[in-house]
Structure 1
């Protein structure tokens, strides 16, 4: 009888064709269950069953929409997927213990491609989108041009400014902007709240539009909520940088 251990749970969980399709769709952005049902071509009951398996495996999270409490958004935990994939490789052979790749460095020389233009949107442009703008500008450097705006701008939240300052990022020169102020074309448009996703206009050049369903830290209240938002934005943006070569 073989002493070979069974495949890691991660491989057994993700190897199902429907679950792999769900993960692939969620890797592009957060989705409602009815959207996922249409994308994978399954009944809502079967789609919900597979989403439940992925949630139980720690790969997918869900939260109620802030725009319509009857809707639910599902998100892929890319960091969890990375860590479990690393463990799966090491379980097969020590030489397959992968080291997570760093984002590609800025290109050298005068032939560098034009920067990727990214726009973050939320309703108030007072915290989430402003923080995302500051984080991406810092992490992306000359590879990106980044802006943020809102559908109903409000003054910058002091806790957003404070949390960014604690991370060495200065937002004192930022101001809230209405999305009507924006000019030019963008390569990526990322909506950060469920309400602004519902009113997001079309932009020239048909940029790739992605939704990240993040709760409003001002609604939760307290410094800790803004820290959690900054942490999640930083993780998502680090993964986002790996996709820029595909733009």
Structure 2
């Protein structure tokens, strides 16, 4: 009896190529532009662009236009899609290789300090700070700051954290990055393309960039932009959940800037 040939799961088809795997591994550490991946991976721009297109078409990688320089795009992993495809790959081989038990509670040893940076420190970085603190029950020393802080919190940032996550940041005020210049951090995460370009170096620090557009940039009333804040907070929440294992298991890596 000859068994029918089973199709190779899509994740394996996409990730089995050595260069595509290297690109996925690179993007697992943060968001990068094509020219930065050329430097990090050591292959030509045309070749990297070709394989990035295949990864995009397969749903593993997404691209967002830089909010600092519209001629550039940042590539990043679609983490939820990767998780779904990986789970499907295991199940296709054997039912016992499907999704396993939930990971144990996050408990970093030694303590970890994380800084989130955007321009105004009134929305994205504040949301990230609040969500990391929530996901770790305060076991991570988490702060946020801005390179050009706004006078106050954006009302929709306060609202989305309260309504979607039950977090109250009323009374919180934006902080200037300069006030943290002498503070040590294990990880610095920029969430704003402009802030990434001007953020100063921190010694012995892992750098990660998340290219997340400013939810208030489109303008309009607070009611008009609130759905964008909801989508932004949801994306940041996904990234935070996938960040946790990396905080204690990955080596210090500096972003190519």
Q: Give yes or no for TM over 0.5.
A: yes
Displacement of 1:106 in angstroms is 4.8
What is the CA–CA distance in structure 1 between the aligned matches of 2:87 and 2:96, rounded to whole Å?
11
What is the CA–CA distance in structure 1 between the aligned matches of 2:100 and 2:218, rounded to whole Å?
36
The root-mean-square deviation of aligned C-alpha atoms, in Å, is 1.5
**Who is 2:115 aligned against?**
119
Please tell me whether the aligned partners of residues 106 and 142 of structure 1 are also in contact (alpha carbons under 8 angstroms): no
Displacement of 1:100 in angstroms is 6.5
**Who is 2:139 aligned against?**
143
Please tell me whether the aligned partners of residues 10 and 85 of structure 1 are also in contact (alpha carbons under 8 angstroms): yes
What is the CA–CA distance in structure 2 between the aligned matches of 1:101 and 1:49, rounded to whole Å?
36
Unaligned runs of 5+ in 2: 220-224, 251-257
Displacement of 1:135 in angstroms is 0.5
**Who is 1:163 aligned against?**
160
What is the CA–CA distance in structure 1 between the aligned matches of 2:38 and 2:145, rounded to whole Å?
31
Deviating above 6 A after TM superposition, structure 1's stretches of 4 or more consecutive aligned residues are none
Q: Higher mean Cα deviation, 216-225 or 184-193? A: 216-225
Please tell me whether the aligned partners of residues 86 and 99 of structure 1 are also in contact (alpha carbons under 8 angstroms): no
Please state whether the residue corresponding to 1:219 is helix, strand or coil. Answer: coil
Please tell me whether the aligned partners of residues 217 and 225 of structure 1 are also in contact (alpha carbons under 8 angstroms): yes
**Who is 2:65 aligned against?**
64
What is the CA–CA distance in structure 2 between the aligned matches of 1:173 and 1:237, rounded to whole Å?
24
Q: Where does 1:34-53 land on structure 2 (aligned, <5 Å)?
A: 34-53=35-54
* Aligned residue pairs, count: 241
Cα pair distance change 1:29/1:116, threshold 3 Å = same
What is the CA–CA distance in structure 2 between the aligned matches of 1:32 and 1:243, rounded to whole Å?
21
Cα pair distance change 1:15/1:234, threshold 3 Å = same
Please tell me whether the aligned partners of residues 191 and 210 of structure 1 are also in contact (alpha carbons under 8 angstroms): yes
Q: TM-score, normalised by structure 2?
A: 0.90
Q: TM-score, normalised by structure 1?
A: 0.93
